[in-house]
Amino acid sequence: MARYLIPRGLISGPAAARAVDAGIALPLAGGPLAFAAAEAVERRAGEEGQRRSVSLSQARAFAPDLVDGLANPRPHWAGFDLKRPLIMGVVNVTPDSFSDGGDFAEASHAIDHARAMLAAGADIVDVGGESTRPGAQPVAPQDEAARVLPVVRALAHAGAMVSIDTRHASVMGQAVEAGAWIINDVTALTGDPDSARVAARSGAAIVLMHMLGEPQTMQADPRYADVTCDLLDYLAMRLAALDQLGVERARIAVDPGIGFGKTVQHNVRLLDELAAFHVFGCPILLGASRKSFIGRLSRDEKPKQRLAGTLAAHQMGYDRGVQIVRVHDVAEAFQARAIWMAGLTNH
């Protein structure tokens, strides 16, 4: 029987510090939040499993190693100390991305856009040359490289922290040589037989994302026994594979892949249970910006009209200890983060 813990009784601000000092809560990922209880899950692989609410002492008795994983501080990642959530700005050098396809397909436009994001407060710019929206067609690696490498090279030369959003090993390697510090792969380094080896040898920080199937098919009736537990199993498997290649856990962040092979209900469940992904000792990346589930929960707004819903999703993430948000609207995300952080120190 596999065991899982989902932190509950989440506390923020001075109350979190007082609860930790009093021994009635534990810090969540060593950050400014704390958890005072948990939901314990036991199940066999592929089954829904049984859930029950437990106290901290019961959680320790149930799975002490999981409690430690949830509570321990995170090491630096990609050179960041993670004392505040990081903002990763999306730079799509594509003609067909779901939200801004064609807006920055020219390298010069993409570079200018990325510089504007950095000026607005982005910590990282995530450069991609292949759309992975539902139904998107694949792009040949050489075409993808031609799109992204001039952008990566220019931004890295200017001192920016650049992430390369790709599932192709050759593009990963070339982008790191051009100055990228982070490899962000929607297939968790499974989409190319060489990608895990290339990423491991590159020395770059890595983001492992969960996606069910391929972009062309991922939204065709996605099903899970328990979406949170299924994703925890998947990411644990991918982390174990990288461990075999000698990749230090401190290099890796995990991303549950909101919208990638998930229904609206799956996405909402994952947002609520994001804190469970702290168990790996890795930072959590949340990519909810302008996703279709926001429109489906509201009034079917177009992608660029989903800013308010995006910020609300980020708030849910921050309240569950997420360390990185991947966004299209950097200035607005920066402002929202500032207000959330001010609330942590309010007495």
pLDDT one-digit tens code per residue, 146-176: 999 999 999 999 999 999 999 999 999 999 9
Amino acid (1-letter code) at residue 41: V
> If 0-12 CB within 10 Å is exposed, 13-18 middle and 19+ buried, where does residue 32 land?
buried
Give the pLDDT of residue 106: 83
Give the pLDDT of residue 96: 55
Rounded CA-CA distance 111/204 in Å is: 22
Tokens 């000698």 belong to residue: 246
pLDDT one-digit tens code per residue, 35-84: 999 999 999 988 999 999 999 999 999 999 999 999 999 999 999 999 99
Angle at 54 between CA 41 and CA 82, to 5 degrees: 80
Is 3 catalytic? The answer is: no
Give the pLDDT of residue 2: 97
* Residue ranges in the chain whose pLDDT is less than 70: 96-105, 346-347
What is the DSSP secondary structure assignment for residue 347, as one 8-state letter?
Answer: -
Q: Active-site residue among 291, 306, 320, 337?
A: 291
* Residue extent(s) of CATH 3.20.20.20 domains in the chain: 86-344
Span 86-344 CATH architecture: Alpha-Beta Barrel (3.20)
Kindly report whether the global pTM for this prediction surpasses the value 0.85.
yes
Give the pLDDT of residue 131: 84
Give the pLDDT of residue 98: 47
For residues 106-132, one letter each, b for 16 or more C-beta atoms within 10 angstroms of the residue's C-beta and e for the rest, the string is ebeebbebbbebbebbbbbbbbbbbbb
What are 5's two structure tokens? 């813990």
Give the pLDDT of residue 99: 55
Give the pLDDT of residue 214: 83
Query: What's the 3-state SS for 28-96?
Result: CCCCCCEEEEEEEEEECCCCCCEEEEEEHHHHHHHCHHHHHHHHCCCCCECCECCCCCEEEEEEECCCC
What is the dihedral angle through the alpha carbons of 308, 312, 313, 314, rounded to the nearest 10 degrees?
100
- Cα atoms in the 13 Å half-sphere on the side-chain side of 156: 20
Tokens 């959530």 belong to residue: 85
Is 262 catalytic? The answer is: no
Give the pLDDT of residue 217: 78
Give the pLDDT of residue 112: 95
